[in-house]
Amino acid sequence: MHKASIVFRRELKSYFNVPIAWLFIVIFNLAISIFFFFVQQFFALDRADLRPYFSLLPLFFTILVPALTMKMWAEEKKQGTYEMLMTMPFSEFDLVIGKFLAAFVLLLIAIASTVFIPITMFLFGYFDPGQIFAQYIGIFLFAAACSAIGQYVSANTKSQISAFVVTMILLIILNIFSQIPLWFNMTGKIADVINWLSVNYHYNSFAKGVLDSRDALYFLIITTGFLYATMQKLYLGRWR
């Protein structure tokens, strides 16, 4: 893990050395606040319920996470540092975990920077802090899954634009999966499988204030699966 932590520090530094991380956090903050207060009209709704706020986070992640993860591997390939990196004494595990943690931590910082919205809302009404806590757990798990997916796509593409577009499409698909049985009037096992794959379906219990092991495991499986697939991609790449 020591080597992974070296990669992690290097990656996190690289985010903050250029405007990308700052831009990401500022856009994320502005978009969330404007949508929450003016599009969803929180104060006009007059309900002490932060579900609308937390329902925005996955939506914005779908657009902003690809912008963050697209450069992970695609840029290394473009700048020619990929080959050099592969010759360094880092295993695939160190590289993938280090890069994943850096993106994940940046997402956590972005989420943490919006924490003033829920905190200030306590001035206006009696909210259920337990429910908000569960929603934060849900969004952290979702952020981890998004980072893992983004990294996998970036490792499989040479251009950052392609990585961005493909990751975004993948995240949109995962978000709208639960609508597919509705559109095509599906039932039975196929619908069950499609629902299981859907992020929304698993986010629902967190929104109610419940941590369900099935839902937590779903996000962990997605995260682990994509991280491992990225490691395999890098490993097989070395042999070609």
Region binding other proteins by CB under 8 A among candidate stretches 33-41, 53-61, 65-73, 154-162:
33-41
Residue placing its CB nearer to other proteins in the complex, 2 or 126 = 126
For residue 172, give Cα distances in angstroms to 5, 51, 139, 240. 31, 20, 16, 32
155 binds other proteins (CB under 8 A): no
Q: Tokens 């831009």, residue?
A: 23
Among 41, 79, 159, 192, binds other proteins (CB under 8 A): 192
182 binds other proteins (CB under 8 A): yes
Residue placing its CB nearer to other proteins in the complex, 53 or 168 = 53
How many CB atoms sit inside 10 A of residue 207's CB? 17
49 binds other proteins (CB under 8 A): yes
186 binds other proteins (CB under 8 A): yes
Residue placing its CB nearer to other proteins in the complex, 112 or 161 = 112
CB 104 within 8 A of CB 147: yes
Residue placing its CB nearer to other proteins in the complex, 78 or 196 = 196
How many CB atoms sit inside 10 A of residue 221's CB? 11
What does the block give as tokens for 111? Answer: 């989420």
* For helices 213-239 and 199-207, angle between their N-to-C axes, nearest 10 degrees: 140
CA–CA gap between residue 46 and residue 159 (Å, rounded): 46
CA–CA gap between residue 129 and residue 135 (Å, rounded): 10
Chain contacts with other proteins (rule: CB under 8 A): 16-17, 19, 21-22, 25-26, 29-30, 33-34, 37, 43, 46-49, 113-114, 116-117, 120-121, 123-126, 128-131, 133-134, 178, 181-188, 191-192, 195-196, 201, 204-205, 208-214, 217-218, 221, 224-225, 228, 232, 235-236, 239
